[in-house]
Amino acid sequence: MKTADSYPYQPVKERGTLRSFLLALFMHLLLAIVLYYGVNWQISTPAGVEAELWEEVPDTPAPEPPPPQPRPTPAPPAPVAQPKPEEDADIALERQKRREAEAREAARKQAELKARQEREEREAAERREAQRKEALRKEALRKEEQRKEAQRKEDQQRAEEQKRKEQAERKEEQAKKAKADAEAKAKAKADAEAKAKREAAANAQRQAELARLKALAGGSGSGGGTSDNAGSGGRASPGYADKVRRRVKPNIVFTEDVQGNPTAVVSVSLAPDGSLLSARLSKSSGNSAWDNAVLRAVERSDPLPRDDNGKAPSSFTITFRPKD
C-alpha cells in the first residue's frame, strides 16, 4: 500500500493564472502612462509669447521711461518624482512573483508540516498497532500456556483416576478370585465329604451285597456239592476290558492339557450282576487330576456291563490314557 510519502504534497494549480497576470501587467502599464502624462501636464511651464506694439507718437520728445521694474521670479515648483512605469511594472511583477513564491513556500512548508504530522500520526498508529499485536500475542501465549497446564493437569488426573480404577478392578478381581477359590475349595471339600459319604455308603452296601452273595454261594455249595466260579471269582473274557472302557470313557471329565500320554491303571472289583464293589488306582499316571478323573468316571459308570457269560468277573484291571 502506497503512503503519503510516495506522493509529496503539490499545491493545486489555479486556472487562468497566465491570463490574470497579463491583464494585471497591462493595467499597471496603462496606469503608469496615465500618471506620467497627467503629472507632466500639470507641472509644465507655459512657453512665453513676445509681441511688438507700434503706435504713432508725436514728435514731442518722449519722456524718459521709468526704469523697468524687475520681474519677480516665480518660485521653482516642488520637484515631483516622475513615475517610472517600466520600473513600477517590474517591481509589481517582482512583488507578485515574490508573493507567489512566498505562497508556494508557505504551501510547501504547510504540506511538509502536514506530511510530517501525518507521518508522525501514522508512526504512532503503527506503534500502537504493534503494541496491541504484541499484547495480543503475549495474551495468546499466556492462554496457550494456561491451556497446556490445564490439559497436563487433566491428563495427570485422568491417569491417576485410571490407575486408581485399575487398582480397584485388580483388587475386586483378586477378591472375586479369592472368593471363587474359597467357594471352589468349600465346594471341593463338600464334594469330597459327600463323596466320602457316598463311598462309605456304597462300600457298606457292597460289603453287605458281597456278604449276601457269599452266603448264597456258600449255601449253594453245601447243597449241591459243587461251586460255580464264574459268578464268584471267574476271569474276564479278552474283550471285556474294552467293553468296560467304552462304558467308562464318556463319563471322564478332564480338560487339562498334559505332556505325553500318561497311563492310569484301575483295579475294579464287581459283583456278579456288575455292581461296583470297589475301584482303586493300581498304577498312577503321574497326573493326579487324570487319575481322579478316571476313578470318578468308573464310579459314575456303576453298574458295569456283564461279561459274555451273563455274569461280571469278580476283579480285573482297566488301562486309561487321555489321548486314546
What residue ranges do the domains of the chain occupy?
A: 240-320
Under a CB-based contact definition with an 8 Å cutoff, are residues 248 and 180 in contact? no
Per the model's pLDDT, the better-predicted residue between 30 and 72 turns out to be: 30
Provide mean pLDDT across the span 193-210. Answer: 66
Cα distances (Å, whole numbers) of residue 66 to 70, 72, 94, 158, 255: 12, 17, 64, 153, 192
Quote the mean pLDDT of the chain. 77
Per the model's pLDDT, the better-predicted residue between 205 and 240 turns out to be: 240
DSSP 233-282: TPPPPTTHHHHHHHHHGGG-------SS---EEEEEEE-TTS-EEEEEEE
CA separation for the pair 324, 156 (Å, rounded) = 58
Per the model's pLDDT, the better-predicted residue between 171 and 78 turns out to be: 171
Under a CB-based contact definition with an 8 Å cutoff, are residues 243 and 305 in contact? yes
pLDDT recorded at residue 153: 93
CA separation for the pair 242, 264 (Å, rounded) = 15
pLDDT recorded at residue 156: 92
CA separation for the pair 27, 43 (Å, rounded) = 25
pLDDT recorded at residue 227: 30
Closest CA to 294 of 283, 310, 308: 283
Per the model's pLDDT, the better-predicted residue between 205 and 9 turns out to be: 205
pLDDT in tens, 229-279: 333 345 677 788 888 888 888 888 888 887 888 888 988 888 888 888 888
Provide mean pLDDT across the span 114-128. Answer: 93
pLDDT recorded at residue 160: 92
Q: Inform me whether the pLDDT recorded for 145 exceeds 60.
A: yes
Q: In the chain, what is the greatest distance between 2 CA atoms, to the nearest angstrom?
A: 259
Architecture of domain 240-320: 2-Layer Sandwich (3.30)
Q: Inform me whether the pLDDT recorded for 125 exceeds 70.
A: yes
pLDDT recorded at residue 233: 45
Instruction: Output the nine-digit C-alpha cell for 206.
Output: 457292597
Least trusted range by pLDDT, from 53-67, 161-175, 242-256? 53-67
pLDDT recorded at residue 131: 94
Per the model's pLDDT, the better-predicted residue between 227 and 43 turns out to be: 43
Residue type, 103: A
CA separation for the pair 322, 290 (Å, rounded) = 8
Per the model's pLDDT, the better-predicted residue between 146 and 236 turns out to be: 146
pLDDT recorded at residue 221: 36
- For 61, other C-beta atoms within 10 Å of its C-beta total 7
